[in-house]
Structure 1
Amino acid sequence: MTIWRPDPDLIRRPAYLSLADQIARAIHEGHLENGARLATHRQLADEMNLSVQTISRAYEELIRRGLVSGEIGRGTFVQARQPEPAPPYLPERMGNLIDLSILKPVCEPLHLDKMRAALGQLAQDLPPSAVLSFRPNNIFPRHRLAAVEWLLGCGLEVSPLNISVTNGATAGMTVALMTAAPQGATVATEAIGHHTLVPLASYLGFQLEGLPIDREGILPQALEDACKRGNIRAVFVQPSATSPTATLMGEERRAALVAVARKHDIAIIENDILGPLVSRTTPPIAALAPERTFYVTSFTKVAVPGLRIGYLVAPDRYVAAVANRHLVSNWMATPLMAEIATRWVQDGTAAELVDWQREAIHKRHAIAAEVLSQSAFWAQPESLHIWLDLPKGQVEETFVAQARLQGVAIAPGVSFQIADMFRTPAVRLSLGSTSEEELRTGLGVVANLLMADPEHVLLAI
């Protein structure tokens, strides 16, 4: 029996909801711990001068919220869900804060001009199906043909029948995971990986296993060992400068991972959101193992953030399953955005914006190399970010907080942690999210913090 009790004087109408809110606050504030047994319906009704029915409705509301569970013959127990992981970026830019926390491409007025021109052209010759049709198969055949052309630039030759047009990479990732990882299965991924995987695993009902990485990503032997240990059904990788640590996986490493996947018959989900932006001769994993690889790419990080369109390439055996899961989770990609993407692929605008982005991000890397010349960090020439290991003695949470106090938002490494293994404290710094001048200033703040005595930083908070 717990000591804490709700306060009858705080009850408002409707009483059951007011009571449920009180108990919920007590759980969130730690007054009621996980596993604590709540008072019986009759006992609490007597103490609160409420009806048993009101208590029952309050407990039912708490069960609905996932905060308690009822066990027949034993009682009602606190069973709070784990808190939602915080995103690594700020939900909005505040005041004059230099925001290096959110991963985005370099954007200038020309991007807005391109989009305005595209919307103006759509107003003149909008295809009726883009507005009037409910049937994806009536709308997207032409867009899939354009996708074939775009994917060639990513190093991938595929049939349009294997392509789903999605509302960006997140939708593609979700559909791929829904298809490859049934509830209860385990998905292997980088120990420092995609920040949405943890909540996705919770929502979709699969387990995550973070595996050791080096400068090329997942270690093949670690994947081999994981497959031998447990119910691994898929491996999620970001091999081309997309991962938080900005790794670029070589062809030999890709082939080794494919060999393990084939040996244990597991699916591969390849997140390649930078697509043709990355200068490389190494083919995508999907080109090495098309029979088991889901390939995800999009336009948001290489063209314009508002162009929320991507492509999901599925292996032959999964095409029907992907189509069904895409229908129930998205129905279809937004036709107007798909129309713009297709036109930009066909008239060369998309490729032009990728070339522009490559040149712009190269300049940002030069600034980072200059300002952080005394620090070692992980990066690739076309990555939109860098991964900065903190010096010995620096506390990640304190470092991020101190940067924020000095007007710079950065992403803490813990936001990307998948495995509970040793990890050097680190931060991710976006290079494209602000102007060159602000980037230089923000990186200067980071550089000064890196040189400061950690104890002085602690005292400054």
Structure 2
Amino acid sequence: MTNWMPDIPAGKGPMYVRLANRIADDIVTGALAAGAKLPPQRDLAYDLGITVGTVGRAYALVREQGLVSGEVGRGTYVLGSAPDTDLVEDPKPDLRSPTNAVPATTAASSTVAWTQMATSVTDPGFAGTRIPVPATGAIRLDSTSAPEIGQADVIRDLTLRITADSPYEIASYTRAVPDSWRQAGQQWLTRSGWQPPEATIVPTTGAQAAIMAIIAATTNPGDRVIFEELTYSSIARGAALSGRQIVQVPRDDEGPLPDELDRVCSQKHPKVLFLMPTMHNPTLGTMPEERRKAIVAVARQHNLWLIEDEVYGSLRETALTPLAALAPERTFHVGSLSKSVTAGVRGGWVSSPLSHAQRVYTAHKMLTGGISFLLAELSARLVLSGAASDFRQKVLAEIAARHDLVQACLPGHDMNSAADAPFFWLKLPSPWLAGNFKTAAAAAHVLIDDEDEFKPGRTGNVYHRVRIGFSNPHTREETAQALEVIRQLLEDSGACYDSFE
């Protein structure tokens, strides 16, 4: 370990930013050589008379810049003054690629760069709960995209045909929606004896863009949007970022409690309710018929729009009536290809109340810049050719096989799981806390989501659960390897007291 002791520059900025500046400058000048080990966070905090959290935040910033790397059980090491210069645009980069580092700043510009980075990293409006700079080679169990089961060959062939058939359309902006795109959406969203009218279909760039367009089309800044106390919180964060107010409603295993929803509507006067009636994320619950009818009744009483997110619902066969069939005048039914076919194509559709179809289309265009002809045409051809349905069956078979691995590796553990679901909702044994468990898994190069990832806002409810997705690893062998890490952590309750520094 180096005997390095930083001389922290005076200034008005936060202490952790100034400490990060000093680390960066000393790396650039050679005071901290490549391969040098930084002092443990506790030791440096004691020597400097500051908190461990301050040192931890400074170390996180230098990791963000690609100047140091943390090695499990060993500490934090200097990478050098010239790390890889590939900029990271995606906050969840491909962990298999070593070229994810942000370039180091020069000594002259480091203070400005660190201050800007500190703002982006710590701004609560933009912060998530996922590991910002995971270790290279980590296995992602924090994603539930469709597994790779040979989609690339079909996508390649369809793309070649599209480029041959529509060279002008690919070269230009998309200014009209072909009938085939609506027909594909109509076919993909059809379920349980319900088929949306073709005129209600709006093609979108995936489900999240669709939902944000719906919120924009039905509300104004300052309006309230309701979310369940556990939900896909990226939508809540996006809504808050766009100036909407987030309201939470209590739920049970069947979904939002109708009486509580009525109370919230009477007191808060919200405009929209976001729901996942089939295969709820993260609990895996499916809303029964009577609860669906009760929710619709409350929505009609309070003139509430409903957003029915059925992205996971495309994986589950059910006879339950969609909310869009029960209340077509107020329900936006959203589906996509991401969980059951392929996530990278970004294919999605909304069945909108006819009165708002054009508004959703316009809002989507204004928010996203417009749909990609190539991706929308590819999504439509995947559905209309039957390839999407074929892939869905193969995806379900792969999910079932990986579900079997879960059951074999974690027998007897309390979890919500199903053979058609790409994730499970795991109850942690005492004394594990969800955040500690996520940190411990990350230290072992396995990324998972703790319960806070699914909370749209502050709540007093604590579940002591984590969501573990298993569809993203490339192979079943890699999935089994990650599950073995989870098993060992569950059996080693003493590990929950480790700092994993």
Q: Using structure 1 for the length normalisation, give the TM-score.
A: 0.78
Q: 1:323 aligns with which of 351, 356, 361?
A: 361
Is residue 174–residue 373 contact of structure 2 (8 Å, CA) maintained in 1?
no
The reply to whether residue 124 of structure 1 matches residue 142 of structure 2 is no
Counterpart residue number, 1:18:
none
Distance (whole Å) between structure 2 residues aligned to residue 28 and residue 193 of structure 1:
34
Contact 1:412 1:426 in 2 (8 A): yes
Q: CA 1:444/1:345 → structure 2, altered by over 3 Å: closer, same or farther?
A: same
Task: State the partner residue of 2:100.
Answer: none
C-alpha distance in 2 between matches for 1:211 and 1:292: 19
What TM-score, normalized to structure 2? 0.72
2:414 alignment partner AA: A
Q: Which residue of 2 aligns with 1:266?
A: 304
- The one-letter amino acid paired with 1:95 is T
Q: Does the Cα contact within 8 Å between 1:296 and 1:312 map onto a contact in 2?
A: yes
Question: Cα gap change, 1:451/1:81 in structure 2, threshold over 3 Å: closer, same or farther?
Answer: closer
Please give the per-residue CA displacement for 1:255-275, whole angstroms capped at 9, x wherever unaligned: 111111111110001111134
Q: Which structure 2 residues correspond to residues 20-35 of structure 1 after superposition, within 5 A?
A: 23=12, 25=14
Q: How many residues align?
A: 393
Q: 3-state SS of the aligned residue for 2:152?
A: helix
What's the counterpart of residue 449 of structure 1? 489
1:113 equivalent in alignment to 2:131: no
Q: CA deviation at 1:242?
A: 4.2
Distance 1:398 1:446 in 2: 13
Is 1:210 aligned to 2:248, yes or no? Answer: yes
Output the amino acid matched with 2:204.
T
Q: Could you tell me how far 1:331 is from its partner in structure 2?
A: 4.0
SS of 1:232 mapped into structure 2: coil
8 Å contact from structure 2 (residues 145, 342) kept in 1 = no
From 431, 444, 463, the equivalent of 1:424 is: 463
Relative distance call for 1:143 and 1:228 in structure 2 (3 A) is: same
For residue 439 of structure 2, what is the aligned residue in structure 1?
A: 401
Q: CA deviation at 1:213?
A: 2.0
Give the % identical residues: 25
- Indicate whether 1:353 and 2:391 are aligned: yes
Report deviation, 1:133. 5.0
Give the CA deviation at 1:332. Answer: 2.6
Partner Cα distance (1:84, 1:316) in 2: 34
Report Cα offsets for 1:263-316 as digits up to 9, x if no partner: 111000111113432111112211111110111111122111211110012112
CA RMSD after TM alignment: 2.7
State which of 100, 116, 126 in structure 2 corresponds to 1:84: 126
* SS of equivalent to 2:271: strand
Aligned-partner Cα distance in 1 for 2:12–2:363: 38
Does the Cα contact within 8 Å between 1:179 and 1:322 map onto a contact in 2? yes
1:314 maps onto 2:352 in alignment: yes
Contact preservation (8 Å) 1:187, 1:207: yes
Deviations 1:232-271 (A, max 9, x none): 1111011111411222111111111111111111000111
User: Relative to 1, partners in 2 of residues 1:82 and 1:401: Cα closer, same or farther, differing over 3 Å?
Assistant: closer
Pair 385,423 (structure 1): closer, same or farther in 2 beyond 3 Å? same
Taking a change above 3 Å as real, the CA distance of residues 155 and 404 of structure 1, as seen in their structure-2 partners, is farther
Matches within 5 A, 1:145-160: 145-153=183-191, 156-160=194-198
Give the residue type in structure 1 aligned to 2:387. T
Q: What is the distance in 2 between the residues matched to 1:226 and 1:25?
A: 40
**Who is 1:340 aligned against?**
378
